[in-house]
Amino acid sequence: MSIDKIRDLKSAKVIPGDMEVGKYVYTLGLAGEKFFNGLKNGKILASTCKKCGITYLPPKAYCEECHGAIDEYSEVGKIGMVYSYTIQYVDGSGKKLDEGVIWALIKYEGVRGGIVHKLGEVDYDQLYIGMLVEPVFKKKAEREGKITDILYFRPIKP
Amino acid sequence: MRMNIHFKNRVACIGAGLTLFRRRLFETPRELAWEAAKQALENAGMELKDIDCVVFGSAPDAFDGIHMQGEYMVDGAGGYKKPFTRVYVGGGTGVFSVIAGWWHVASGLCDKVLVVAEEKMSPALPHPQYVFHHIFDPITDKPLGVNLIWIFALEMHRYMYKYNIKKEDIALVSVKNKRNALDHPAAQLGAKITVEDVLNSEVLVWPVQRLDISPVSDGAGALILTSEEYAKQYTDTPVWIDGVGWNLDTTYWTNRDLAFPKYLYYAGKMAYKMAGIHNPRKEIDVAEVYDPFDYKELHHMEGLQLARKGEAPILTREGVTERDGDLPINPSGGLLGVGNPIAAAGIMKVAEIFWQLRKEAGKRQVAKDPTTGLAQAWGDLMQIGTVVVMRV
C-alpha cells in the first residue's frame, strides 16, 4: 500500500500534532514606530537617504544601498498610482468569497517601494493599471497605528 | 579522521560589531542586524560597497516569528544585490556562520565577507522555551510534552553521576561568568552572585536551577572576514582563522554518551588538525566555550580536550579558568552573563576571541599574553559542535 494513496486517515495510524507557538508580539522598530504613528495621524511617511537620494516606502531606518543611518522622514504626495492589481475570489482555504476583494500595489513618484492594500469605491470594469488613487483612513478615534488604519484606496475623482 | 582540505586563501578577521543583548529590544530583527553590521564595517574601516558577499545566521525561525528569515533579513544584513547565504544549525549557528564565511574566503570565491548573526527571541509567547517543543520527534518524543530543559537535566545528571561532580562545583561556572559579564558593555545579566545563590535559586527541572541557565535574549553580532591580501590593506593587526571544525552526533539523543560530548571531540579534532595544534590544553591560551548552562562549559572543555574527562570542575575550582588563570574560559561572561540571543551569542564568542587576541578587550583582557584562542558553539538537536581556532 503506497502512502500517497492514504486519503482516509483511519486507514493508517497517525499521531496528531501542531507547530504552533502560543502567540507572537512584534516590535515595530525604529522606522516602524514613525510609519505607524504617521498612519494614526492620517499620513503616509517615507524615509530618505540623503547620501544616495533614495526615498523608501515603507520607511527604513537604514539605506539598503550604502547601509548608512536614515533619520529623515517626510510625507509622500497625495496621489498614488496603481502599479498592478488583482481580484481575489477564493480565500486561503479554498472557500469562495461572497464578494471579490481588489488588491493593488500602489506606488508614489520618486519613491522606492510602495503599499499593498485594498481598492474600494470602484467597479471592476473601471479598474486599470496607472489609475490614480488616494487613501481612505478610518475615523481618527478608531485608528490604532496599524496598516488597517487605512481602510482602502479609492480613485481620485477628476 | 582523514581530511583532505586544500584552500586558496588564509582567512583573517579584521572587524567585529555587537548590539546590546537584552530580554526585549525595541528594534526589528533587520534593524538589529544592520546595527551590528554597521559597527563591524566601521571597525574594519570598510563600507558596504567593499563587501563581496554576505553570510547570515539565525536559529529557528519560530523565535523571531518570521518564516524563511534569511530572505527577510537581506537588506538589514547588508546582502541586497550581493551573493547572500543563510546558514542554520540551531544553537551552533553563530560559530557556523563564521565557518561558512571562512569557506567563502578560503576557497577563493570571495575576498571580503560580512558575516552577520541575529536572534530576536522575545516575540514568541507565552515563552520562547515553548518553541523548542517542536524540534523533537513528533511521534516518540513530542506527545510526552518534552521540553529542552528536561533533556539537559538528564545530561547534566549523567555527567554528575559519571564523574562524581557536585552541584557546588558546577555553580562556580555561573558565578564566574556572571561576574565576568559585569565588564562587558553589551551584557544582559552581569552580576555578583555566590554559589549559595545558585543552589538556592528556583529548581526548574532538577538538577537544573534558575541560575544554572542562560536567559532569553535579543541581539545581533557581525564580523568582517577577508583574504590575507586584503587584510593587510585594511589593518596591521589581523586575527587569523587557522582552523575550523564541525561535526554532528546522532539525532537520537537516547543513543549518545551523555557524559561526554563526542560531537565536540570530533569537531575540535578537525579544527586542531587544520591549525596544527597537537596539545590543546597547552596551545590554546583562551577559549570561549558554549555555556547556555553552567555544566555545559565543563562538558565542552572536556570535549575540546582542554581538560581530561571529569577534570573541568577541578580546574574551575582551582581558578585555572578565571581571567587571570592559566586557561581563561569565557572571559566575556559567556551566555550565562552576556546573554543568549542564540546565533548572535556564537558571534559574540568569536568576537571576544578577536578582541582578546588583539588585546582590545579592555577590562575583560586576560592576564596572560594570548596568541591562540578558540570559540565554540553547540546546537541542532543538541548534537552539533562548531569550532574556530584563531591566532595572531
Cα-only R_g, chain B: 19
Regarding beta strands B286-288 and B239-248, do their DSSP bridges make them parallel or antiparallel, or are they unpaired?
Answer: unpaired
Q: C-alpha distances in angstroms, B41 versus B44, B101, B145, B158, B352?
A: 5, 15, 44, 44, 17
Q: What is the grid cell recorded at B122?
A: 522575545
Q: Which residues of B touch A21 (CB under 8 A)?
A: 62, 65, 124-125, 130-131, 134
Q: Which tens digits make up the pLDDT trace of B61-85?
A: 888 888 888 999 999 999 999 999 9
Asked if B316 and B176 touch (Cβ cutoff 8 Å), the reply is yes
The DSSP call for residue B144 is G
Asked if B87 and B95 touch (Cβ cutoff 8 Å), the reply is no
Residue to test with chain A: of B19, B25, B28, B49, most A Cβ within 10 A: B28
Domain definitions of chain A by residue range: 29-155
CA-based nearest residue in chain A for residue B124 = A24
Given an 8 Å threshold on Cβ–Cβ distance, is B48 in contact with A17?
no
pLDDT band at B382 (very low <50, low <70, confident <90, very high): confident
Alpha helix stretches (DSSP H) within chain B: 29-44, 61-64, 69-73, 93-106, 148-163, 167-181, 195-200, 228-234, 262-275, 280-283, 294-303, 312-317, 334-337, 342-357
CA torsion B312→B316→B322→B328, rounded to 10°? Answer: -10
Into how many domains does chain B fold? Answer: 1
In which domain, by residue range, is B239 found? 11-125+215-391
Q: What is the grid cell recorded at B347?
A: 558571534
Asked if B217 and B340 touch (Cβ cutoff 8 Å), the reply is yes
Distance of alpha carbon B146 from alpha carbon B360, whole angstroms:
43
Q: Which tens digits make up the pLDDT trace of B316-337?
A: 999 999 999 999 999 999 999 9
Strand order across the A45-49 sheet: A72-75, A45-49, A54-57, A112-113
Q: Which residues of A touch B130 (CB under 8 A)?
A: 21-22
pLDDT band at B3 (very low <50, low <70, confident <90, very high): low
| The pLDDT value given to residue B156 | 97
**DSSP, residue by residue, B151-193:** HHHHHHHHHHHHHT--HHHHHHHHHHHHHHHTT-TT-S-----
Given an 8 Å threshold on Cβ–Cβ distance, is A15 in contact with B131?
no
In this prediction, what percent of chain A has a pLDDT beyond 70? 95
* Candidate from B28, B30, B123 with C-beta closest to A24: B123
Distance of alpha carbon B365 from alpha carbon B346, whole angstroms:
19
Q: How many CA atoms lie within 13 A of B337 on its CB side?
A: 28
Element (H, E) at A76: none
Q: Which residues of B touch A17 (CB under 8 A)?
A: 138, 142
| Amino acid, res. A141 | A
Q: Which residues of A touch B38 (CB under 8 A)?
A: 62, 67, 69
Residue to test with chain B: of A24, A25, A60, A63, most B Cβ within 10 A: A24
The DSSP call for residue B331 is T
Q: Rounded to 5 degrees, what are φ and ψ at B44?
A: -85, -10
CA-based nearest residue in chain A for residue B30 = A29
Lowest mean pLDDT among A12-16, B11-15, B351-355: A12-16
Lowest mean pLDDT among B53-57, B126-130, B283-287: B126-130
pLDDT band at B4 (very low <50, low <70, confident <90, very high): low
Q: How far is A155 from chain B (nearest CA, A)?
A: 32
Q: How many helices (H) and strands (E) does chain A have?
A: 1, 10
Q: Which residues of B touch A71 (CB under 8 A)?
A: none
Q: Which residues of B touch A27 (CB under 8 A)?
A: 24-28, 122-123
Higher pLDDT, A21 or B106: B106
Given an 8 Å threshold on Cβ–Cβ distance, is B28 in contact with A27?
yes
For residue B254, give every residue at least 6 positions away whose Cβ sits within 8 Å of its Cβ, in sequence order, or none: none
pLDDT band at A1 (very low <50, low <70, confident <90, very high): very low
* Candidate from A15, A24, A32 with C-beta closest to B28: A32
Q: What is the grid cell recorded at B146?
A: 518534552
pLDDT band at B142 (very low <50, low <70, confident <90, very high): confident
Residue to test with chain A: of B30, B71, B136, B139, most A Cβ within 10 A: B30
Asked if B243 and B273 touch (Cβ cutoff 8 Å), the reply is yes
Instruction: Determine whether domain A29-155 maps to CATH 2.30.29.30.
Output: no
Q: Which tens digits make up the pLDDT trace of A104-116?
A: 999 999 999 999 9
Residue to test with chain B: of A18, A27, A28, most B Cβ within 10 A: A27
Q: What is the grid cell recorded at A102?
A: 481588489
pLDDT band at A78 (very low <50, low <70, confident <90, very high): confident
For residue B205, give every residue at least 6 positions away whose Cβ sits within 8 Å of its Cβ, in sequence order, or none: B147, B149, B150, B152, B153
* Candidate from A22, A30, A62 with C-beta closest to B130: A22
Given an 8 Å threshold on Cβ–Cβ distance, is B124 in contact with A69?
no
Given an 8 Å threshold on Cβ–Cβ distance, is A24 in contact with B24?
no
Alpha helix stretches (DSSP H) within A2-151: 29-40
| Amino acid, res. B264 | L
| The pLDDT value given to residue A3 | 55
Q: If you count residue pairs, one on A and one on B, with CB atoms under 8 Å apart, how many are there?
A: 74
Given an 8 Å threshold on Cβ–Cβ distance, is A24 in contact with B65?
yes
| Residues of chain B with a CB closer than 8 angstroms to some CB in chain A | 24-28, 30-31, 34, 37-38, 41, 47-49, 62, 65, 75-76, 78, 80, 122-126, 130-131, 134, 138-139, 142-143
Lowest mean pLDDT among A93-102, B56-65, B375-384: B56-65
| The pLDDT value given to residue A41 | 96
| Mean pLDDT, chain B, whole residue set | 95
| The pLDDT value given to residue B115 | 98
Distance of alpha carbon A87 from alpha carbon A119, whole angstroms:
10
| Residues of chain A with a CB closer than 8 angstroms to some CB in chain B | 15, 17, 19, 21-32, 60-62, 64-67, 69
* Candidate from A23, A29, A66 with C-beta closest to B27: A29
**Of B105, B372, B388, nearest to B224 (Cα)?**
B105
Residue to test with chain A: of B22, B32, B39, B75, most A Cβ within 10 A: B75
Q: Which tens digits make up the pLDDT trace of B224-275?
A: 999 999 999 999 999 999 999 999 999 888 899 999 999 999 999 999 999 9
**Of B335, B327, B322, B316, nearest to B378 (Cα)?**
B335
**Is the per-residue pLDDT at B295 higher than 90?**
yes
CATH classification of the domain holding B310: 3.40.47.10
Asked if B390 and B372 touch (Cβ cutoff 8 Å), the reply is yes
**Of B372, B352, B371, nearest to B362 (Cα)?**
B352
Exposed e or buried b per residue across A96-131, where buried means at least 16 C-beta atoms within 10 angstroms of its C-beta? eeeeeebebbbbbeebbbbbebbbeebeeeebeeeb
| Mean pLDDT, chain A, whole residue set | 92
Interface predicted TM-score (ipTM) of this complex, two decimals: 0.87
pLDDT band at A158 (very low <50, low <70, confident <90, very high): confident
How many of the other CB atoms lie within 10 Å of CB of A83? 14
pLDDT band at A22 (very low <50, low <70, confident <90, very high): confident
Given an 8 Å threshold on Cβ–Cβ distance, is B123 in contact with A25?
yes
| Amino acid, res. A8 | D
Given an 8 Å threshold on Cβ–Cβ distance, is B28 in contact with A29?
yes
